[in-house]
């Protein structure tokens, strides 16, 4: 019955099934402790972000560390908890997935609060307001979204900029789907522009402004797409204690004036 | 309205299956072009690597070492972004085809060289003894045998090319991997979408290896490999 | 007396090899392998001796493993073979028999000396200079020296008419110890390949000739069989047919039966005998003494790179003139 090659396959099959079933239980074991307790045990707050998104998160040229508006906010939370901060640089589109699985405690990445995303994660209260913007190279004639017809555009994959371009330009037929170049990191999208692979980049306005300022005059922001977005910190839906805690921290920052100081630091 | 399979919510896939049609086409396209380019170049470089003349052999060796010594992803970026910096603007799709193709050519060159060098010297000697020139002996005796001999490792390399084509996502080519990526960005179900992507790749590679195995059987030298 | 078909003058072959660990699979003749080991041993001895001398004199001399060693496999062979002669070459392993045979059709290029086929020189007139240039210890000097020789060579050939070694080879048939049939082609095609590509025959012509050749060796029914489907004896016969079909003026056999099972040797020897009786000029390197006695007009005993004895079979076997021949024959009859 269980002899020979056929027998070996059967045994292997049973072992695999048992392994698969047991791995699905692993998630259940960790459910007892609250998120904040786990962070305290670990003595570390792990956040995920996606670099190349100035001035919210970018890599400092000299120290090679991650820095930015979001990092300072996250640091405030870590300080309040009395733990150290670990920053993981990920592809933007992996952030929510990572939060869901529990690979990171929170995602702080200039992430807009959307109803879609709220199906998967919980957001803190909004901590920043933004719109989208169109960036082009200096010699370009593009002035408005209508001018983008038939052009090539680069976006940061998974961001609201990506979503805006898809629903407003691709789905309406103004721009071909193949002409939208999507990248996991915003820096790649900017590179597309400077290497003349695309005609425009659509990305959050504060980031667009910061990028143009640092780009040495080769690019310009030509249009602000008013979307009234709000950034939030993404956390696991089951981590209700962490969500409340973070909201308290954010409120404290605002009340104490610390928030304004951080804003001044990154948006002089 | 979600669809379920083994308790997994696969509606991200089923509701967007149409996106995968062109994605599969692109993956196949990149792989095919890369395989053909890799083989054509690989033959040339492989022959050069087996040459007696150091003038021909050394540059070929350098080519193989450099390409095999750098990661494909890096080469991909060099082709796409690097060329633009020096003024040659190239689209993502051709860049992907060239990068994967040249990368594969180095490995195929070594495979071809191995095949040629494993043909026993007696075969060349018999060919020359009967009056054939070096070119004739290569064309009628060595290469026919070598090409049959290298079908198994070549088939392995073709499978690798199909898998390597997935790296084209990094330069925004909308092939299988990028489309899965995008779905994950919309639905936040990485396991489901990437499992599906893996399945697609598995089908492609399986078909390829089966085709190659049929080819091997068709051109097999009767009596080969049956020695006691 | 018939005219001289092929002759060699002071044929020499020296190998320069790097001294390194001997490879498991030796890609050369026995002569080369033995000579290599001997030369290495000799060199090492010399080094040790000189080191001892230095030590005795109170000086330290490091024993360095010598990098290169020279192996003289052929030490000057001059031989004339006439049309219609059947010559068997015998001798101990490593004596240079196979190396000599391979020099005749230039499969192995001699270091010095000449080979004349039908009166025309087929060795490279600058080969000696070229070999000397190649054996230079300094790789740079070697490269430039060989380039210079190549240049002179090309000019000479252009001015005085060149000998196309491939054409010459097509007039000599060679049969190898390991058959060397083209395994990807059936028997008939093995034979037709050279007919079409070297002799330029058309497909039907070549097919006709191939079929005839197969009939001559008694394998007409195996025309479409692939080499690896045939027995050793059958493969060797097809190899003979392949050489025969080119209508060569001279046939060279390099230990044609050494790789065969005893019961298959007979069929091959029969074919060779038939060929000899039909008047073909043949040079056969063999270990089959009885066969040699029966088929040869003349026996060459080659040992340590020279022709130690040269004479008709009854004289050489029954009344050898050379002591070394006597020793060799004695060792044979011992087992």
Give me the interface pTM, i.e. the ipTM.
0.85
What's the count of helices (H) and strands (E) in chain A, helices before strands? Answer: 10, 12
Q: Using the beta-carbon criterion (under 8 Å), do B89 and A197 form an inter-chain contact?
A: yes
**pLDDT score at B228:** 42
B85 touches chain A (CB under 8 A): yes
Q: How far is it, in rounded angstroms, from Cα A147 to Cα B169?
A: 28
Judge contact between B45 and B107, C-beta under 8 A.
Answer: no
C38-62: average pLDDT: 70
Is the pLDDT at C136 greater than 70? The verdict is: no
Q: Using the beta-carbon criterion (under 8 Å), do B188 and A96 form an inter-chain contact?
A: yes
Q: How far is it, in rounded angstroms, from Cα A160 to Cα A110?
A: 10
Q: Where are the domains of chain A?
A: 35-127+232-266, 130-230
Buried b (16+ CB within 10 A) or exposed e, B11-23: bbbeeeeebbeeb
**pLDDT score at A77:** 93
Q: Where are the domains of chain B?
A: 4-219
SS3 for A102-132 is CCCCEECCCCECCHHHHCCCEECCCCEEEEE
Is the pLDDT at C139 greater than 90? The verdict is: no
Q: Using the beta-carbon criterion (under 8 Å), do A97 and B184 form an inter-chain contact?
A: yes
Q: Residues C233-250: pLDDT tens digits?
A: 999 999 999 999 999 999
Element (H, E) at C199: none
Q: Please, what sign has the CA dihedral across residues A158, A160, A161, A162?
A: positive
Polymer length of chain C: 335
3-state secondary structure of A182: strand
**pLDDT score at C63:** 59
Judge contact between A84 and A78, C-beta under 8 A.
Answer: yes
Query: Average pLDDT over chain B, rounded to whole?
Result: 91
Distances (CA, A) of A188 to A197, A200, C250: 11, 13, 73
Of C107, C178, C179, the CB nearest to B129: C107
C155 touches chain B (CB under 8 A): no
Residue closest to C73 by CA, chosen among C116, C124, C121, C112: C112
Buried b (16+ CB within 10 A) or exposed e, C220-231: eebbebbbbbbe
Kindly report the nearest CA distance between residue B124 and chain C, in angstroms: 9
**pLDDT score at C23:** 60
Chain C residue with minimum CA distance to B149: C184
Q: How many CA atoms lie within 13 A of A39 on its CB side?
A: 25
Element (H, E) at C91: none
Element (H, E) at A191: helix A186-194
Q: How far is it, in rounded angstroms, from Cα B53 to Cα B41?
A: 19
Judge contact between A249 and A77, C-beta under 8 A.
Answer: yes
C86-100: average pLDDT: 89
Judge contact between A249 and A39, C-beta under 8 A.
Answer: no
From first to last of the 268 residues of chain A, give the pLDDT tens digit. Answer: 566 677 777 877 777 777 666 555 554 454 567 888 888 888 999 999 998 898 999 888 777 788 999 999 999 999 999 999 999 888 888 899 889 888 889 999 999 999 989 999 999 999 999 999 999 999 889 999 999 999 999 999 989 999 999 999 999 999 998 899 999 889 899 989 988 899 999 999 999 999 998 888 889 999 999 999 999 999 999 999 999 999 999 999 999 999 999 999 998 8
Element (H, E) at B5: strand B4-5
Q: How far is it, in rounded angstroms, from Cα B166 to Cα B26?
A: 10
C270-289: average pLDDT: 92
CATH class for the region spanning A35-127+232-266: alpha beta
Residue closest to A246 by CA, chosen among A122, A129, A130, A160: A122
Q: How far is it, in rounded angstroms, from Cα A76 to Cα A54?
A: 19
Distances (CA, A) of C88 to B126, C4, C100: 21, 17, 12
Q: What is the pTM of this model?
A: 0.79
Structure tokens at A250: 């954010």
- Confidence class of residue C5 from pLDDT cuts 50, 70 and 90? confident
- Average pLDDT per 10 consecutive residues for chain B, totaling 228 residues: 74 86 95 97 95 89 97 94 80 94 97 95 94 93 94 96 95 90 83 93 97 94 69
Which segments of C184-263 are extended strands (E)?
250-254
Q: Using the beta-carbon criterion (under 8 Å), do B185 and A191 form an inter-chain contact?
A: no
A221 touches chain B (CB under 8 A): no
Residues with Cβ within 8 Å of A203's Cβ and at least 6 positions away in sequence, in order, are A132, A133, A135, A155, A156, A159, A161, A186, A189, A211
Q: Using the beta-carbon criterion (under 8 Å), do B126 and C182 form an inter-chain contact?
A: yes
Element (H, E) at C298: strand C298-303
Q: How far is it, in rounded angstroms, from Cα B204 to Cα B213?
A: 14
Element (H, E) at C36: helix C30-56
**pLDDT score at A19:** 66
Distances (CA, A) of C213 to C117, C199, C237, C239, C265: 25, 15, 10, 10, 20
Element (H, E) at A184: none
φ, ψ of residue C60 in degrees (nearest 5):
-95, 130
Q: How far is it, in rounded angstroms, from Cα C292 to Cα C232?
A: 21
Q: Residues A72-84: pLDDT tens digits?
A: 999 999 999 999 9
**pLDDT score at C160:** 56
Phi-psi region of A64 (alpha: psi -120 to 50; beta: other; left: phi over 0): left
Query: How many Å separate Cα A5 from the centre of its chain?
Result: 50
Judge contact between C255 and C287, C-beta under 8 A.
Answer: yes
Q: Fill in the DSSP letter of residue C167.
A: H
Q: How far is it, in rounded angstroms, from Cα C241 to Cα C218?
A: 10
Peptide bond into A55 cis (omega under 30): yes
SS3 for A52-103 is CECCCEEECCCCCCEECHHHHHHHHHHHHHCCEEEEEECCHHHHHHHHHHCC
Q: Residues C67-77: pLDDT tens digits?
A: 677 788 899 89
Judge contact between A221 and A212, C-beta under 8 A.
Answer: yes
Distances (CA, A) of A92 to A160, A220, B178, C258: 11, 24, 14, 73
Judge contact between C309 and C301, C-beta under 8 A.
Answer: yes
B88 touches chain A (CB under 8 A): no
Q: Other C-beta atoms within 10 Å of A254: how many? A: 13
Chain B residue with minimum CA distance to C193: B140
3-state secondary structure of C28: coil
- Considering only CB atoms, which chain A residues are within 8 Å of B188? 96-97, 100, 117, 120-121
Q: Residues C287-298: pLDDT tens digits?
A: 888 899 889 999
Q: How far is it, in rounded angstroms, from Cα A188 to Cα A162?
A: 14
Structure tokens at C223: 């025309």
Element (H, E) at C76: strand C68-82
Q: Using the beta-carbon criterion (under 8 Å), do C169 and B126 form an inter-chain contact?
A: no
A196 touches chain B (CB under 8 A): yes
**pLDDT score at B10:** 82
Touch between C and A (at least 3 CB pairs under 8 Å): no
Query: Average pLDDT over chain C, rounded to whole?
Result: 84
Architecture field, domain B4-219: Orthogonal Bundle (1.10)
Q: Please, what sign has the CA dihedral across residues A194, A197, A198, A202?
A: negative
Architecture field, domain A130-230: 3-Layer(aba) Sandwich (3.40)
Judge contact between C270 and C216, C-beta under 8 A.
Answer: no
């Amino acid at each position: 019955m269980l002899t020979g090659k056929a027998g070996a396959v059967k045994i292997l099959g049973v072992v695999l099934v048992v392994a698969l079933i047991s791995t699905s239980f692993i998630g259940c074991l960790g459910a007892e402790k609250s998120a904040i307790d786990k962070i305290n045990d670990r003595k570390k707050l792990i956040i995920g972000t996606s670099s190349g998104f100035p001035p919210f998160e970018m890599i400092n040229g000299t120290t090679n560390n991650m820095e930015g508006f979001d990092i300072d906010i996250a640091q405030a939370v870590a300080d309040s908890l009395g733990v150290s901060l670990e920053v993981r640089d990920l592809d933007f589109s992996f952030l929510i997935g990572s939060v869901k699985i529990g690979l990171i405690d929170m995602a702080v990445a200039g992430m807009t609060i959307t109803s879609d995303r709220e199906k998967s994660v919980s957001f803190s209260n909004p901590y920043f307001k933004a719109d989208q913007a169109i960036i082009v190279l200096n010699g370009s004639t593009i002035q408005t979204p209508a001018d983008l017809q038939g052009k090539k555009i680069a976006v940061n994959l998974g961001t609201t900029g990506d979503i805006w371009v898809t629903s407003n330009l691709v789905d309406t037929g103004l721009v071909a789907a193949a002409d939208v170049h999507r990248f996991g990191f915003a820096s790649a999208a900017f590179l597309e522009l400077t290497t003349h692979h695309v005609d425009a980049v659509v990305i959050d306005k504060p980031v667009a402004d910061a990028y143009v300022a640092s780009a040495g005059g080769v690019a310009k922001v030509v249009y602000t797409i008013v979307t009234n977005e709000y950034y939030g910190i993404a956390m696991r839906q089951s981590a209700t204690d962490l969500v409340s805690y973070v909201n308290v921290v954010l409120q404290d920052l605002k009340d104490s004036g610390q928030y304004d100081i951080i804003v001044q630091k990154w948006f002089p | 309205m979600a669809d379920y399979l083994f308790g997994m919510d696969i509606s991200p896939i089923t509701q967007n299956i149409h996106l995968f049609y062109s994605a599969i086409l692109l993956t196949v396209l990149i792989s095919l072009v890369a395989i053909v380019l890799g083989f054509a170049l690989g033959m040339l470089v492989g022959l050069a690597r087996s040459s007696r003349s150091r003038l021909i052999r050394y540059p070929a060796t350098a080519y193989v070492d450099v390409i095999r010594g750098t990661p494909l992803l890096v080469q991909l970026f060099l082709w796409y972004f690097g060329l633009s910096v020096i003024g040659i603007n190239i689209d993502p799709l051709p860049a992907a085809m060239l990068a994967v193709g040249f990368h594969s050519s180095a490995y195929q060159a070594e495979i071809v060289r191995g095949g040629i060098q494993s043909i026993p010297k007696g075969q060349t000697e018999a060919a020359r003894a009967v009056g054939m020139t070096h070119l004739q002996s290569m064309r009628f005796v060595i290469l026919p045998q070598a090409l049959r001999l290298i079908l198994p490792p070549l088939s392995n390399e073709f499978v690798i090319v199909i898998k390597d084509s997935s790296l084209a996502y990094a330069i925004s080519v909308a092939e299988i991997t990028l489309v899965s990526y995008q779905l994950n960005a919309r639905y936040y179900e990485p396991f489901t979408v990437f499992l599906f992507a893996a399945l697609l790749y598995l089908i492609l590679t399986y078909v390829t290896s089966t085709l190659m195995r049929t080819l091997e059987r068709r051109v097999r030298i009767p009596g080969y490999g049956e020695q006691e | 007396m018939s005219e001289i078909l092929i002759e060699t003058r002071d044929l020499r072959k020296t190998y320069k090899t790097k001294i390194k660990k001997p490879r498991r699979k030796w890609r050369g003749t026995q002569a080369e392998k033995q000579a290599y080991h001997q030369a290495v041993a000799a060199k090492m001895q010399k080094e040790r001796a000189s080191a001892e001398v230095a030590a005795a004199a109170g000086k330290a001399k490091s024993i360095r493993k010598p990098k290169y060693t020279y192996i003289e496999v052929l030490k000057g062979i001059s031989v004339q073979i006439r049309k219609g002669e059947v010559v068997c070459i015998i001798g101990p392993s490593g004596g240079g028999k196979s190396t000599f045979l391979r020099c005749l059709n230039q499969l192995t290029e001699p270091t010095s000396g000449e080979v004349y086929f039908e009166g025309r020189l087929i060795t490279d007139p600058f080969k000696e200079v070229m070999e000397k240039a190649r054996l230079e210890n300094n790789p740079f000097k070697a490269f430039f020296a060989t380039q210079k020789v190549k240049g002179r060579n090309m000019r000479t050939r252009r001015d005085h008419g060149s000998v196309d070694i491939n054409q010459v080879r097509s007039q000599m048939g060679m049969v190898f110890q390991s058959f060397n049939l083209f395994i990807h082609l059936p028997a008939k095609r093995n034979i037709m390949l050279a007919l079409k590509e070297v002799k330029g025959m058309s497909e039907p012509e070549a097919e006709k000739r191939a079929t005839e050749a197969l009939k001559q060796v008694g394998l007409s029914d195996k025309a479409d069989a692939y080499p690896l489907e045939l027995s050793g004896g059958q493969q060797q016969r097809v190899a003979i047919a392949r050489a025969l079909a080119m209508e060569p003026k001279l046939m060279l056999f390099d230990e044609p039966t050494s790789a065969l099972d005893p019961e298959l040797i007979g069929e091959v020897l029969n074919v060779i005998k038939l060929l000899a009786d039909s008047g073909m000029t043949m040079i056969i390197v063999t270990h089959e003494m009885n066969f040699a006695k029966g088929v040869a007009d003349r026996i060459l005993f080659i040992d340590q790179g020279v022709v130690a004895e040269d004479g008709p079979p009854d004289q050489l076997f029954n009344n050898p003139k050379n002591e070394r021949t006597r020793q060799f024959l004695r060792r044979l009859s011992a087992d």
